[in-house]
Structures are given as C-alpha cells and as structure tokens.
Amino acid sequence: MTEEVRVRYAPSPTGFLHIGNARTAIFNYLFARHAGGKFVIRIEDTDQKRNVEGGEESQLKFLKWLGLEWDESVDIGGAFGPYRQMERLDIYKKYYQELLDKGFAYKCYCTPEELKEEREQQMAHGQTPGYSGKCRHLTPEQIAAFEAEGRKPTLRFRVPEDETIEFNDMVKGHVTFHSSDVSDFVIVKQNGVPTYNFAVVVDDHLMKMTHVLRGEEHISNTPKQIMLFHAFGWQEPTFAHMTLIVNENHKKLSKRDNSIVQFIEQYKNMGFLPEALFNFITLLGWSPKGEEEIFSRDEFIKLFDAERLSKSPAMFDKSKLEWMNGQYITKMPEDDYVAMTIPYLVNAGLLPQEMTDAQKDWARRVVLLYKEQLHYGAEIVQLSDMFFNKTILKTELTKDEEKILSGEQASDVLSAFNRELKALDSWTAEVIAPLIKVVQKETKQRGWKLYMPIRVVATGSQHGPELPEALELLGRDLVLKRMDAYLEKQQTV
RNA sequence: AGGGCGUUGGGCAAGUGGUUAAGCCAAUGGAUUCUCAUUCCAUGAUCGCGGGUUCAAUUCCCGUACGCCCUCCCA
C-alpha cells in the first residue's frame, strides 16, 4: 500500500500573502490534489517579534481568494493539530528534552553579543562565520557559574563531526553537504521557544508529511533538518526545492522590495482576477507539457507534475501577468465585468455612488467598450477617460491633433457633420453612423481625413472606441457644444 | 570567505548525443481598421565562456566567469 501524500504550506505570519508565498502554497496544493492527498496549512509563528497583527488571517483569506482549499489548518482543525506552532510548545519540549538526554544537544550560555562579536571577528579574518562550539564541553562548574550569573541557555544541536548529508531533491536532484560546513545550530531559543529548523522537523514528522515543497532558500537548511530527523531516528520526507522568484534585478523577491507589487491583496485591489493570478503564478517555475498557457485550476490539478518544476529562477514578468489577466477579462461574463469595473470609476469620483437606472445603463455601456483591451480593473479609469472629461474646447493640442485639424477639409467635414447632427431628432449610434456617410459623400472626404477631425473635436481625443457609439455615449449636448465651439473659434480666427 | 544552486533570443520557457532549437509575453515591421484596441503575417538565439569525451554536444564530464541563496537565539 502506498502512503497517502501529505504536504503543507507553512507560512510565518510575519506579513501578508505575497507572490512567493502564494506560489509555494499553490504548488503544494496542486501536488496534493493531483496525488489525491492532503494539503495542510501550518502556521509557523515561533518568531514572536516578527509576527504581525493580522498576518495569519490575511494569509488564509487571500489563499482562499485565489481558490485554494485545504484539508487541515488552524481554522478547520484536523487530526494532527494544533496547527499553530506556539500552541505546540509542550510537544516540542518533550522532543528537545530527548535530544538533550541523549547528548544530541547541549546548552549554550553565550550571549547574543558574544556571538555577534565572534562572527565579526571571523569575518574580519576572512573566515567562514559560524558558531565555534565553545559551550560544547562545559563542565558542571562552568554551567553552575553561568546559571548563578542568571544566564539562560539556548539549546544547540551537536552537529556530527565528519558526516556527509545527502538527499534526492525532486527539483535539484542529488544534493550533498558535509557536516563540517554546518556549525552547531540553535534549536531552542533562550525564551524556550524552538527555532524554525527544530520545529519544522518535529511537526513534519508528527503531521506525517510525505513531501516538503518549499522555496530554494531553504536548501541550505535541509542538512540541518535531516540531521535532526536522523537524531530522532525518523525518516525524512522527500524534498523539492523550488526556484526562487526574482525581480527585474534578478534579486529574490523580498517583502521589502518596492520595485514590484508584491502582495496578493494589492493585485486584488488593482482588479486582477484570482483565476488569472493563479494561472500566472503557477507558471512561475513550472511549465506544462504542451503549448497552452491558459489553464483553469482543475486543469492544473490534472496536469501538475513535480518533475516539470524548473531549476532556474523565474522572473516576475508584470507585462505577461497583465496580458494574462486581460485574457481572463475578455472571457468574463459581461455582468461580472461591469460589476468589477464600475467601482473603480466610482472611487475615482467619476461616477456617483448612487446611480439611476439610466446612469447605470450608460456606465455599463461605456465600460463594455473596453472589455477586450482592459488588462486589470483599475485601468478602466484611464482607458475611459474621454467619457468623463467634459472640456468643451481644448486649448492645447498635440502635434498630431494639430495636423488633423489643420487640413483644409477638416472644417468642411466638421460643419457638414454638425449640420447633419442638428437635424437629428434621436441620438443613437445607429442613426449617427449613416450621417458620417452622408458627410463623406458631401465633402468627398473619407477615411482618416473624414473621421479624425470629428473624433478629435467631438471626443477630445484622437484615440477611442468606435466613433458612432462613442458619440452616442458622450451625449448630444456635449458633442454639439464642442462642435459649435470649435467652428465658432475657427470663424473668428 | 565557505557551502549550495543556477546560466537556452529583451522576459518566461520546451527540448534532444545528429532537429528548421517548440510555444507564450514584450519589441519592431507589415496587412486590416477613422484612431487606440482586436485579429492576422513577418522579424530575431552559433543554447555564459574554455577545454575534454565522441564520427557528432546546447544536450555528458572537468574547469572558469557571472548571478542568486544560505551561513541569525528569522522563517
């Protein structure tokens, strides 16, 4: 019988969910679901100083928003709880006591200051920084003396002298470390709380994790953890160290990096869709077999294969994300699209909070004009700008606009069109469109020379959606005012 | 400084001991269109560098450069 696959995403609540976190969570999730196994979320909150208020909540909230579901965690419980490390202190105690009793660990009375100085000395002499092992063989008298001083010890793991630690990484292949490159590391801090490297091992064992998929930055922690597994006589899980995600400068994405939008919440606020983000993030450091790039969550579950995790760093390509999100927006149901975009216009003060049915309908039509080209929700504000800018007569024209209006034909076209528009008793794209043809016949102008003058004067911009519909939505009043104002100015000049 | 890992066109990325070295994004050029957008077509890599193994290497081995990660009483 094969063991049930169990994997976990183990965030520390030191911040909100960012791209890197999300990627790790997604891969674990896909791996578990693909194998029909369990996906667990465990909160690693042993660094109380760095924990931030709301961090844990935010992690779960945005994971859920992205479409992940988990089988065990702080919020829904499970058979292997508690799932918050600070609630597992008693459990850890039993295990580190065991290591102490068996001589795998010892008490270290060095102060942080002493250690820091030691490190700096080593660096200054060009040596590899690392703990010297000073407290490895303390006599009972020395210990008593330290205790009498009121010093509180940390617990350090006694790293074996001359041992090769190796493992088969699902991504990197065979990886080897030598124990002499690892110095005795702290497993329990002065305050009695275990460190990450210790707690992970105990938890992963107790929670029966079969695989550990995590970021590559953990690869050098792995030998430490393996030594702990061995000290306990436990079988270590299979490791998979995923590529880092790097920014445009090829640096690891860090929470403090401002060159890139990091947090899932920010993407949500900008109007990125969870499906698109999920899709995009999954393609960071992993690739499917064929040529397709757009996949649903269920398709990913079916396809996911850890063999195809890539070894080299993935760069976060914002423009591709925008493209991908645009693909999802294009396929979105119209109602959803409208519901997503309108709030951005309201927030920008361009639309009233409370709208009449007519206003709603108008806004809907405006917004729908851009459905195919919108990359993300917030972009609607700039894209639809021409429907909210009520300037009658532009005073400053761009070079192109000047060129468009300077032609002799421009005024003819404009006055002819203006006259036709005024004769209209209704105002819809359907009745406006034929008028352009009428003007075409009358002035013998067509194409660029026909449309552009009208567009520039009536809409105030040389770019925009289909002219007749744009004019309809701009409204009769505004369009006529603009044309009149322009023509009048032409005459006075 | 030590250890680990990586290196395929601007970005992502597939792939193989002998191929025209996929595909996507971006860029540029072109076609269509009143413009933007859309759509379509086109354009670009001697696979970091040097050596070796081999009839043959981007693919295997060694070295080197560069990059990144770790070396914390952070995770």
CATH of the domain at A424: 1.10.10.350
Q: Note whether A360 and A258 are same-domain residues.
A: no
Q: Which residues of A292-328 are buried (b: 16+ CB within 10 A; e: fewer)?
A: eeebebeebbebbebeebeeeebbbeeeebbebbbbb
Q: Which of residues 212-241 of A touch strand B (CB under 7 A)?
A: 216-221
The whole-number pLDDT of residue A254 equals: 67
Is strand B within 7 Å of residue A403 (CB)? Answer: no
**pLDDT tens-digit profile, chain A (493 residues):** 467 999 999 998 888 888 888 999 999 999 999 999 999 999 999 988 888 888 899 899 999 999 999 999 999 988 997 999 999 999 999 999 999 999 999 999 888 888 888 787 777 777 777 787 788 888 888 888 888 888 888 999 999 888 888 888 888 888 888 888 888 999 999 899 999 999 999 999 999 999 999 988 888 899 999 999 999 999 999 999 988 887 777 777 766 666 678 889 999 999 999 999 999 999 988 888 877 888 999 999 998 888 888 888 888 888 889 999 999 999 999 999 999 999 999 999 999 999 999 999 999 999 999 999 999 999 999 999 889 987 777 777 666 766 666 777 777 777 777 777 777 777 787 777 777 777 777 777 778 777 888 888 888 888 889 888 998 888 888 888 888 777 777 666 6
Q: Which residues of A339-375 are buried (b: 16+ CB within 10 A; e: fewer)?
A: ebbbebbeeeebbeeeeeeeeeebbbebbebbbeebb
Q: What total of structural domains would you count in chain A?
A: 4
Q: Give yes or no for a cis peptide into A82 (omega within 30° of 0).
A: yes
CATH of the domain at A349: 1.10.8
Boundary (domain end) residue, out of A242, A263, A292: A242
* Any domain includes A117: yes
Q: Note whether A204 and A109 are same-domain residues.
A: yes
Is strand B within 7 Å of residue A315 (CB)? Answer: yes
The whole-number pLDDT of residue A423 equals: 74
CATH of the domain at A218: 3.40.50.620
Is strand B within 7 Å of residue A381 (CB)? Answer: no
Å between A19 CA and B68 C1'? 18
* Any domain includes A393: no
Nearest to A318 by CA among A288, A276, A275, A361: A276
Query: Which residues make beta-bridge pairs with A72?
Result: A40
Nearest to A290 by CA among A281, A277, A280, A299: A299
ipTM summary value: 0.89
Å between A83 CA and B7 C1'? 40
A360 carries a ligand binding annotation? no
Is strand B within 7 Å of residue A372 (CB)? Answer: yes
Nearest to A214 by CA among A193, A228, A189, A197: A197
Helix axes A476-492, A448-459, angle to 10 degrees: 110
A135 carries a ligand binding annotation? yes
- How many whole angstroms from its chain centre is CA A1? 38
Rounded to whole angstroms, how far apart are CA atoms A338 and A365? 9
Is strand B within 7 Å of residue A328 (CB)? Answer: no
- Letter for the amino acid at A113? E
Strand nucleotide closest to residue A180 (CA to C1'): B3
Smallest CA–C1' distance to B15, residue: A289
Boundary (domain end) residue, out of A242, A276, A305: A242
Per DSSP, A353 falls in state S
Q: Note whether A218 and A256 are same-domain residues.
A: no
Q: Which domain does A410 fall in, by range?
A: 399-492
* Any domain includes A323: no
* Any domain includes A205: yes
* Any domain includes A432: yes
Q: Which of residues 160-189 of A touch strand B (CB under 7 A)?
A: 172-178, 181, 183, 185-186, 189
Q: Note whether A93 and A237 are same-domain residues.
A: yes
- How many whole angstroms from its chain centre is CA A242? 16
Active site residues of A: 255
Query: Which residues make beta-bridge pairs with A108?
Result: A154
Look-up of token digits 């639809």: A384
Is strand B within 7 Å of residue A388 (CB)? Answer: no
* Any domain includes A79: no
Token pair belonging to A32? 């578990």
The whole-number pLDDT of residue A2 equals: 66
Q: Compute the residue count for chain A.
A: 493
* Any domain includes A83: no
Å between A280 CA and B68 C1'? 22
Å between A50 CA and B14 C1'? 41
Q: Which residues of A208-224 are buried (b: 16+ CB within 10 A; e: fewer)?
A: ebbbbbbbbebbebbbb
Q: Note whether A184 and A309 are same-domain residues.
A: no
Å between A387 CA and B71 C1'? 58
Q: Which of residues 130-159 of A touch strand B (CB under 7 A)?
A: 130-131, 154
Rounded to whole angstroms, how far apart are CA atoms A220 and A132? 19
Q: Note whether A251 and A238 are same-domain residues.
A: no
Å between A369 CA and B34 C1'? 17
Q: Which of residues 8-37 of A touch strand B (CB under 7 A)?
A: 10-12, 14
The whole-number pLDDT of residue A1 equals: 44
Alpha-carbon distances of A323 from A341, A373, A487, rounded to whole Å: 17, 9, 42
Rounded to whole angstroms, how far apart are CA atoms A206 and A200? 10
Q: Note whether A105 and A140 are same-domain residues.
A: yes
A320 carries a ligand binding annotation? no
Rounded to whole angstroms, how far apart are CA atoms A108 and A136? 7
Å between A369 CA and B14 C1'? 37
* Any domain includes A80: no
The whole-number pLDDT of residue A451 equals: 84
- 3 state DSSP class of A367: helix
Nucleotides of strand B lying closer than 7 angstroms to a protein CB = 1-8, 10-15, 22-26, 34-38, 67-75
A172 carries a ligand binding annotation? no
Q: Note whether A130 and A184 are same-domain residues.
A: yes
Backbone angles phi, psi at A7, to 5 degrees: -130, 165
Is strand B within 7 Å of residue A260 (CB)? Answer: no
How do strand A154-157 and strand A186-188 relate by DSSP bridges?
antiparallel
Q: Note whether A104 and A40 are same-domain residues.
A: no
Q: Note whether A212 and A126 are same-domain residues.
A: yes
Is strand B within 7 Å of residue A464 (CB)? Answer: yes
Boundary (domain end) residue, out of A224, A242, A260: A242
Rounded to whole angstroms, how far apart are CA atoms A10 and A17? 12
- How many whole angstroms from its chain centre is CA A303? 22
Strand nucleotide closest to residue A459 (CA to C1'): B35
Q: Note whether A113 and A227 are same-domain residues.
A: yes
A38 carries a ligand binding annotation? no
Q: Note whether A99 and A218 are same-domain residues.
A: yes
Q: Is A204 exposed, middle or buried (0-12, 13-18, 19+ CB in 10 A)?
A: buried
